[in-house]
Amino acid sequence: MNNNNNNKSTISPYLCTRTFPNDYYYLKKKTNKLKFFFFFFSISDPLKRLNLLFNSKKSNPVWDYFQLDGDKAICRLCNKRLAYKNHMYLTSLSNHLASKRYGHRQHYMEYVTKKNELIRETDMFNNIILKMGNRTFDSSDFYNFKYMYKNFICDK
């Protein structure tokens, strides 16, 4: 007699529930995405919209203009001290840069556009590297790439 019980693989019940679209967590994730989508497009100011997309200190252009000092953020352009306790205060920092009152708006908009161009060009450069495969790079390739980065550094 063949005993097939040893050969059967067991499927985790968690994996089974995650595959159904009516799963609670799946629906919750979907509704959160939809809420963010509608909230994102309800904002009329493109700068505020852009700042919602950048959350981390690494990618957010706001952090190129502010320096943290305890629970305060100091603007590098006008030395104004703004409250900053956690990432929820990020909107007030971006509002400071986007407002016409302090005169940073034009500079900030130009910088954000340049940074977006740099991201786009970097992506294009990475795609070229992937397409070229194992080709060896000479010093001019590296210099051009380095020059691209230097061009978009914020003038302080």
**pLDDT attached to residue 22:** 47
Asked whether the beta carbons of 115 and 152 are under 8 A apart, the reply is yes
In tens, the pLDDT along 61-94 reads 777 788 878 788 888 888 888 888 766 677 788 8
One-letter identity of residue 77: L
The tokens describing 74, both together, are 């100091």
d(CA 109, CA 97): 9
Whether this prediction's pTM lies above 0.95 is answered by no
Higher pLDDT, residue 97 or 122: 97
Q: Locate 97 and state its tokens.
A: 């840069």
| Tokens encoding 24 | 């609670």
Instruction: Quote the pLDDT of residue 107.
Output: 82
CA quadruple 112, 60, 126, 138: dihedral, nearest 10: 80
pLDDT beyond 60 at 96: yes
Check residues 133 and 64 and name the one with the higher pLDDT: 64
Residues near 148 by beta carbon (within 8 Å), at least 6 away in sequence: 118, 121, 122, 125
